[in-house]
Amino acid sequence: MGNLIIGNKKYDEYAFESEHDFEKAVVENSDLLFGKETIYIDVKRRIGEKDSYHKTIPDGFLIDFSNINEPQLYFVENELSTHELYKHITEQIGRFASSIISSEQQIREKLLKEIKINKKLLQKIEQIIKKSRFDNIDQLMIELTEKNNTKIVLVIDESTPDLELSLKIFKDAPDIVLLQRYLNGEQISYYYDTPFENIKEATKIGSSTIKTKEFDTVVCSAFEEGFNHAYVKNNAWWAVRLSQKAKEQLKYLAIYEKFPVGVIRNIAEIDRIAPYKDSNKYIIYLKNKQKISPIKYDKKGSAPQSPRFTNYDKITSSKKLSELWQ
């Protein structure tokens, strides 16, 4: 059992009593788990023919609008950890993958039906569409189900090396989001770990015009020893948490050298990205390393403590760290 300390108060781990209990927490905290630029559709609908082995029922659907003109659809699977978990999850993810390929039209039709009968949800999506390149919700759904590869996200209360290893059999392993509950008296708090964390910082939906530019660069922070060992000597950077979307989009990696240096002055092209040991993190292999004009630390909160996303144009034109995240 784990504990948290928040404001000098001790919180004890408070296990979820049922999957229904867990799913309720996922829905209530979806903005934190996936980002405010996402829409969680809390509905269970069978995908695939009734008698088919490939039929499946996701726990929900997620539409990610962090890049408003290139939205991404996800199947969501919410699971509590058990001894039989790994076999169940690999089978379920396998059925998800099969139904994504074989049931595009059915996925689109069922999502459209659910959205159109939910006036609040429909209104929210229509407001987003007005700021995008899509003419209507039908065009959006065609893009999500036919032109883009639907992805899978697994939300779980405990992630272990065995789980991460079992998911490596899939070419496109699902994103893993961790959600745990803690209790102090009658006050509940949550601990979460998500690969969507930095994506939601990288792109925002503008209020009136489309200002979103797709990120292509990840900035990682390093002390001198780590920088010399990994970046300089091994042409790589490792133990980086990335979502499926980030792996597809990234082209560059830049290094922020921590104090006393306090600058970004090195960037490299990404050669390839591979799983890192028995974890849900990755090693990024680099090529064509180059020096750039220093981008200096300028104010509190501008220095990346964990990987943060930006784009190459900002890296080559900015003089201050804060400009990278604007």
More confident residue, 197 or 215: 215
**What average pLDDT does the chain have?**
87
pLDDT of residue 198: 58
What does residue 127 show for φ and ψ, rounded to 5 degrees?
-65, -35
Query: Is 207 contained in some domain?
Result: no
Question: Residues with Cβ < 8 Å from 197, sequence gap 6 or more?
Answer: 35, 306
Q: What is the DSSP letter of 169?
A: G
The candidate with the shortest Cα–Cα distance to 233, out of 307, 181, 286, 294, is 286
Share of the chain above pLDDT 90, in %: 60
pLDDT of residue 96: 83
Number of domains in the chain: 2
Query: Is 206 contained in some domain?
Result: no
Residue 315 sits in a domain whose CATH number is 2.40.450
- Asked if the model's pLDDT at residue 165 lies above 80, the reply is no
**256 in the same domain as 182:** no
The pTM of the full predicted model, rounded to 2 decimals, is 0.80
- Asked if the model's pLDDT at residue 52 lies above 60, the reply is no
The candidate with the shortest Cα–Cα distance to 261, out of 211, 197, 321, 193, is 321
**What does the alpha-carbon distance between residue 48 and residue 100 come to, in Å, rounded to a whole number?**
9
**71 in the same domain as 25:** yes
Query: Dihedral of the CA atoms 22, 155, 199, 276 (nearest 10)?
Result: 150
Band (pLDDT 50/70/90 cuts) for residue 253 is: very high
The domain of 8 spans 3-199
**189 in the same domain as 65:** yes
**255 in the same domain as 167:** no
Quick: pLDDT tens for 261-288. 999 999 999 999 998 987 888 999 999 9
Domain end residue (candidates: 199, 226, 242): 199
Domain end residue (candidates: 171, 199, 227): 199
Quick: pLDDT tens for 66-87. 888 989 999 999 999 875 666 7
Query: Is 170 contained in some domain?
Result: yes
**237 in the same domain as 147:** no
**195 in the same domain as 99:** yes
**What does the alpha-carbon distance between residue 269 and residue 217 come to, in Å, rounded to a whole number?**
9
